[in-house]
């Protein structure tokens, strides 16, 4: 992951500094940077699927769909990913994810 993520510190830094540190430095710093083990592109696919499956259907899912697009996941691939996941994660969740993906890939 090329850019340094500071969302934790930007949003929660004063209120929950340790959580913000773990978010920015461990999750987005150490875990996302392990590209020899799993590419950033593949990590975005896994993350989109996991968020959708767990029902996290808010701006974080949309942000990770955007990140997937930025990491080279084509619209056709995202459609296939969400269609496949719909049968395991739930149809209503897929509808929500598709609305976000359509917005991201229409831009």
**Structure confidence by residue, pLDDT tens digits, 58-90:** 999 999 999 999 999 999 999 999 999 999 999
Regarding whether 97 and 59 lie in a shared domain, the answer is yes
Regarding whether 28 and 43 lie in a shared domain, the answer is no
For the chain, the domain total comes to: 2
> Residue 61 is part of which domain span?
39-106
Regarding whether 61 and 16 lie in a shared domain, the answer is no
The CA–CA distances, whole Å, from 70 to 48, 74, 75, 104 equal 13, 9, 11, 10
Distance CA 65, CA 95 (A): 14
Regarding whether 95 and 44 lie in a shared domain, the answer is yes
Query: Domain containing 57 — which CATH number?
Result: 1.20.1290.10
**Structure confidence by residue, pLDDT tens digits, 10-60:** 999 999 999 999 999 999 999 999 989 999 999 999 999 999 999 999 999
Contacts of 51 (CB under 8 A, 6+ apart): 57, 60, 61, 64
pTM of the shown model: 0.88
- Reported confidence tier of residue 3, pLDDT bands at 50, 70, 90: confident
Contacts of 14 (CB under 8 A, 6+ apart): none
Regarding whether 43 and 25 lie in a shared domain, the answer is no
């Amino acid at each position: 992951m090329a850019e340094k993520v500071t969302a934790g510190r930007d949003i929660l830094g004063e209120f929950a500094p340790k959580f913000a540190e773990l978010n920015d430095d461990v999750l987005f710093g150490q875990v996302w940077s392990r590209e020899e083990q799993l590419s950033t592109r593949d990590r975005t696919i896994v993350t989109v699927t996991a968020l959708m499956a767990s029902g996290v259907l808010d701006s974080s899912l949309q942000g990770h769909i955007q990140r997937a697009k930025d990491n080279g996941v084509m619209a056709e691939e995202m459609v296939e990913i969400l269609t496949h996941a719909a049968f395991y994660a739930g149809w209503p969740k897929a509808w929500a994810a598709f609305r976000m993906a359509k917005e991201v890939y229409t831009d």
